[in-house]
Structure 1
Amino acid sequence: MNSIGFLMPQKLGFNESDVSEVSPCKRFVHYKKILGRGAFKDVYGGFDRVSNTEIAWCQICIEDENTMKSSSNEEKLCFEAVLLKSLNHKNIMKCFSYWVDKKNNTINLITELFSSGSLRYYRQRNGNIDAQTIKNWGRQILQGLQYLHEQNPRIIHRDLKGDNIFIDITTGEVKIGDFGLATFMQEGPLCTVVGTPEYMAPEYYDEEYNELVDIYAFGMCLLELATSEHPYSECTNPAQIFKKVTAGIQPLALGKVKDPEVKEIIEKCLVSASIRPSAVDLLNDPFFSSKNPMEIEMERDNEAQLNNSSLISTSDSALSVEQGMVQSPMAFTVDSISSLFAVGKQFQYSGSKNNLEKVLRASSSVYESSTSEVSMNSKVTFASSSGEVHGDPGFCISRLTLSGKTLEGE
């Protein structure tokens, strides 16, 4: 699938009057404003009525006069949707739903919305990226690639580039998306030549390659981040790129990388496939495996916060809560809470008032408190039988709204 340059979305909120289209299940809506546009697809900002989160609604025309007339193309798009929905990793774009609209001749995908757009858009807007950020983002991309390459059968992205890697700058999360050219690695090498020329490894042109083509493309992504230049920007057409790549001539931008460690890791990605490292090899490389004191301290803080506030116990089970996933509801969700209330169960949250608010907001529940002064205490218990919200002395939440049910507190 052709890449899209995502525009920086404004805060969408949810306003029924702005709704342009509703999904068949009535759960998802999208607005009129287009966030991004490709050769045969548009991406709209939208809203998930169940989880109360903003989403991206990708709409692909399957009868566009330029591209999408054949049934094989439709099958490829459906394959992307099925594949994306089957993947579950923190560094892979989440797909929540998809469907084919025969009446309007479209395929629709509902995915996460990335507040900061693609890596290319971010780089164009902010200029060169420092070595520490390249290390952090690169590590996350490699973790996503490792996950893909360790599937059975292995999954090869085949179009990894800045346009297809997305970032949420508020959380620092980086995720791989756009699996339109992805494929499963069967026995023996692949031979279909697809991709974006600037990011295509030399073995593509020999028509025998494996998942290591993604590592080559990863190196080119790092090169773009480090220099703010497209790989082989000195070339004016794909034929010139082909000649240089097959001759083993590296892009001129490589000589402009200032940080020697960044340059070295890029060079490791661009070597011959026979000696090119895997995603696991690179993650074990000192460049990515070593962490500075600030990173270590942040991880400790996050772990401590998680240990302090991630356990919600019920009479039958325990629900784990992952902090920091503001756009992605985890185990502590509106549905899970509502189901507990529906069957009359009680559950207890252990943690501070601040962490409680974070958990509720991270789970996309609608949380309201008309009392601004709430003391930091250790426990609060939600009891469905009486509809009360209460806790230890000094801990008072006046209103809690969950899936339309308002519970009044003390």
Structure 2
Amino acid sequence: MPPSDPSDKDSEPFVETDPTGRYGRYDELLGSGAVKKVYRAFDQEEGIEVAWNQVKLSCFSDDPAMTERLYSEVRLLKSLKNSSIIALYKVWRDEWSNTLNFITEICTSGNLREYRKKHRHVSMRALKKWSKQILKGLVYLHTHDPCIIHRDLNCSNVFVNGNIGQVKIGDLGLAAIVGKNHSAHSILGTPEFMAPELYDEYYTEMIDIYSYGMCVLELVSLEIPYSECDSVAKIYRKVTSGVKPEALKKVKDVEAKAFIEKCINAKPKARPSAAELLRDPFFDGIVDDDDDENNDVNGTGRVVS
């Protein structure tokens, strides 16, 4: 047995590696949800940190629909290439441990909800920059062929690279690919962010615009919408009867309030599209790194690649 390298004691050991040996998973848990756990990992080929998402398929042995949904998320993620969407690098199923594993890019500062709580003093200009990047991700999803509806957009599903002020949409686990009619028929999502028509089980990508408006409201007010309600039933009653969240009253910036109200209009057809919102005067003067002729939105609202 060769003598061990004395420098090894300073390195962090991998708990496991992918079948090719390129990606190594550390023991550090970055996040844990109902469906998956996310660990810090390392891409040895590129020399970059990545996120290792792991789903125990045994949890869904009685629910083939859920398993299929997970596979759909991964297949969907792999097809998406946009700077405002979390990138997927590799996916495989580990038969021995019965897990679905996929490697995604990592955002160093966690999710936007926690990040905003941590940094309470943020200018309206900075909030607009974050909001604009989320919107660019929605334009990409909604103008994708076929159209993709996220269906669970909220601040905990948006991730941040705080050192460069970059935000990206992630957790596309509930996303629906809809055909040319742009409609879907199942109730899914986070109640505080769900558009009223979602409860009628007939909706279009305009539900994402509603959820996006609630995200902007949370960023500006530092309050989760409908936090005055202590049950999902009460949220449902308010949403379906057109009662706006109390947090809206706390928005002192007139321009921001008007922008949010456009997004959360009870009538889906009255909401602007993501491409239209991107051209809203609310974003006048707000420029980010992706605002160039090769990676912005043209007059039709389609992403130019």
Residue 230 (structure 2) aligned to one of 231, 236, 253: 236
Shift of 1:83: 0.6
For residues 61 and 126 of structure 2, the distance between their equivalents in structure 1, rounded to whole angstroms, comes to 39
User: In the alignment, which of 168, 173, 185 is matched to residue 166 of structure 2?
Assistant: 173
Size of the alignment, in residue pairs?
Answer: 282
Name the CA distance, whole Å, in 1 between partners of 2:135 and 2:12. Answer: 42
Q: Secondary structure at the match of 1:145?
A: helix
> 1:163-312 alignment to 2 at 5 Å?
163-188=156-181, 189-271=183-265, 272-288=267-283, 290-291=284-285, 295=287
In structure 1, what is the equivalent of residue 42 of structure 2? 47
> 1:71: how far off?
2.1
The answer to whether the aligner puts 1:57 opposite 2:36 as a matched pair is: no
The 5-angstrom pairing of residues 61-76 of structure 1 reads 61-64=56-59, 69-76=62-69
Q: Is the 8 A contact 1:129 1:225 kept in 2?
A: no
Match of 2:117 in 1: 124
For the Cα contact (< 8 Å) 2:225–2:247, is it kept in 1? yes
Partner of 1:345: none
Letter of the aligned partner of 2:107 in structure 1?
Answer: F
Per-residue CA deviation, residues 85-111 of structure 1 (Å, 9 max, x unaligned), is 110001000000111112111111101
Letter of the 1:270 partner, please give it.
I
Task: Letter of the 1:170 partner, please give it.
Answer: N
Contact 1:128 1:226 in 2 (8 A): no
Correspondence for 1:38:
33
Q: What stretches of structure 1 of length at least 5 have no aligned partner?
A: 1-13, 304-410
Aligned with 2:95 (options 87, 97, 102): 102
Provide the residue aligned with 1:406 in structure 2. Answer: none
Matching residue of 2:77? 84
Distance in 1 separating the partners of 2:200 and 2:36: 31
Q: Separation in 2 of the partners of 1:218 and 1:19?
A: 38
1:40 counterpart letter in structure 2? V
Return structure 1 stretches of 4+ with deviation > 4 angstroms. Answer: 14-17
Q: Could you tell me whether the CA contact under 8 Å between 1:201 and 1:217 is conserved in 2? A: yes
Provide the identity percentage: 44
Going from structure 1 to structure 2, the CA distance change for 1:15 and 1:274 (only over 3 Å counts) comes to: farther
Answer 1 or 2: higher relative contact order, Cα 8 Å, separation at least 6: 2
Contact 2:192/2:235, CA 8 A, preserved across alignment: yes
Q: 1:15 to 1:238 in 2, by over 3 A?
A: farther
Larger Cα Rg: Structure 1 or Structure 2?
1
Equivalent position amino acid for 1:225 in 2: L
Q: Secondary structure at the match of 2:217?
A: helix
CA contact (8 A) 2:176 2:184 kept: no
CA deviation profile, 1:121-155 (whole Å, cap 9, x unmatched): 10121225431112101111111100100111100
- Cα distance 1:44–1:243, how it changes in 2: closer, same or farther (>3 A)? same
- Cα distance in 1 between the residues matched to 2:19 and 2:10: 19
SS of equivalent residue, structure 2 residue 72: helix
How much has 1:187 moved relative to structure 2? 4.2
- In the alignment, does 2:135 pair up with 1:142? yes
- Counterpart for residue 396 of structure 1: none
**SS of alignment partner, residue 270 of structure 2:** coil
Letter in structure 2 aligned against 1:278: S
Q: Which amino acid aligns with 1:196?
A: T
Alpha-carbon distance between aligned partners in 2 of 1:207 and 1:17, rounded to the nearest angstrom: 48
Runs of 5+ unmatched residues, structure 2: 1-8, 293-305
Write the distance in 2 (CA, Å) between the matches of 1:35 and 1:110: 13
